[in-house]
Amino acid sequence: MGERAACPVTPDRGCRSPRPSDRPDSYVFTSLFRSAGKPTAASAASAAAPAAALTGHDLVLHYDGRPVVHGVSVALAPGRATALVGPNGSGKSTLLRALCRLHRVDGGRVTLDGPGGESERDVALLSSHEFAREVTLFSQSRPVPQGLTVAEVVAFGRHPYRRGFAGATVEDRTAIDHAMRVTGVHDMAGRQVGEVSGGEMQRVWLAACLAQDTGVVLLDEPTNHLDLRYQFETLDLVRHLVEEQGIAVGIVLHDLDQASRIADTIVLMRSGRVYAAGAPADVLTAENIGEVYDIRVEVDVDPRTGRLRIDPLGRHLS
């Protein structure tokens, strides 16, 4: 199966979170990402879902001729966030790209649930436009297109819905405007992208993803190059997609604290294999982290928030 550039940039399903323009300067998100034990309409719906939205079955992947992922299976379910974590070179980003048809699959297959509960479909058999209307990838880096405004770049997310040389529809314009507002780039819509900072450009590409309006969203280290506020708001937006929109989310993160707070399921990888998978508290133990990362840590539960707290132990820092 050849490598396919199938998903340009793609997003959620009308993700309506608080808009930056609605917030006073002192506005602070209070969700702390994953709502511990709190049922939502999306989670109730996903609990009844018969299968995952996007599934990798026994995937074998190579990079530069050498195997980097060895028979890994992962399932992304509607209304749940799955975080892929592990050291550099563990295969997590390659696995995510294979789920999005951007990396050749040498063994196994990737499937999507059929609409309306129909049987699963092999993604290799879908056209690029069909696939891009259902799955999107927010990748770590993209070249910055010159001579375009922020709004024009965000509009790239509507490409799978365009027909020929037809102009933007009302639905297109609504999706673009909404995506820019929830990512905080609406006020820079008319600016040239060559004039924005690296962190701002990350948010522009995220807005393009949200404008594409898909049921599966894949994110590869989405908080890279973002300051603390926008890291927090980006991850809070991811939880909004999961809890309020019922989106199936797969996300690669290096920060284990962030992963434990945002994910319903953690997949801990080492050397191209799944070392452990399950609920954050079951996977992110001191023993597992020490074995995979070769570092001593303490893991406990914050008595105030009830969330995991991971503290590396060093000779001088503790």
In total, the chain counts a number of residues equal to: 318
Domain membership flag for residue 22: no
Whole-angstrom distance, CA of residue 122 vs CA of residue 31: 36
Cα–Cα nearest to 123, from 115, 112, 114: 112
Structure tokens that stand for 229 in this block: 């506020």
Higher pLDDT pick, 211 / 52: 211
Instruction: List, in order, residues 6 or more apart from 210 with CB less than 8 Å away.
Output: 11, 12, 15, 157, 175, 178, 179, 182, 183
- Distance from the Cα of residue 221 to its chain's centroid: 8
Which residue type sits at 304?
R
Residue 284 lies in a domain: yes
Q: Does residue 59 sit within a domain?
A: yes
Number of domains in the chain: 1
Average pLDDT over residues 213-228: 88
Task: Give the residue among 204, 113, 208, 116 at the shortest CA–CA distance from 155.
Answer: 208
79, HSE (Cβ side, Cα atoms, 13 Å): 18
**Considering the domain boundaries, does residue 150 fall inside one?**
no
DSSP letter at 68 equals E
Beta strand extents in 77-186 (DSSP E only): 80-85, 107-112, 121-122, 135-138
Residue 89 lies in a domain: yes
240-254 mean pLDDT: 91
pTM of the model: 0.79
Find, among 214, 73, 209, the residue nearest to 131 by Cα: 214
Residue 14 falls inside a structural domain: no
Listed range (5-14, 26-35, 309-318) with the worst mean pLDDT: 5-14
Q: Which residue has the tokens 């529809």?
A: 169
Q: What are phi and psi of 168, to 5 degrees?
A: -70, 140
108-143 pLDDT, tens per residue?
999 998 656 567 899 999 999 899 999 999 886 677
Structure-model confidence comparison of residues 14 and 62, the more confident one: 62
User: Higher pLDDT residue, 297 or 4?
Assistant: 297
Q: Where are the alpha helices (DSSP H) in 14-109?
A: 41-47, 92-99
Residue 47: which CATH number? 3.40.50.300
Answer whether residue 117 is part of any domain: yes
Domain containing residue 65: 30-144+215-312
Query: How many CB atoms are closer than 10 A to CB 16?
Result: 13
> Considering all CA atoms of the chain, what is the largest pairwise distance in Å, rounded to the nearest integer?
63
% of the chain exceeding 70 in pLDDT? 80
Question: What does the pLDDT read at residue 225?
Answer: 76
Instruction: Tell which wins on pLDDT, 144 or 90.
Output: 90
Over residues 173-192, the pLDDT tens digits come to: 999 999 999 888 999 999 99
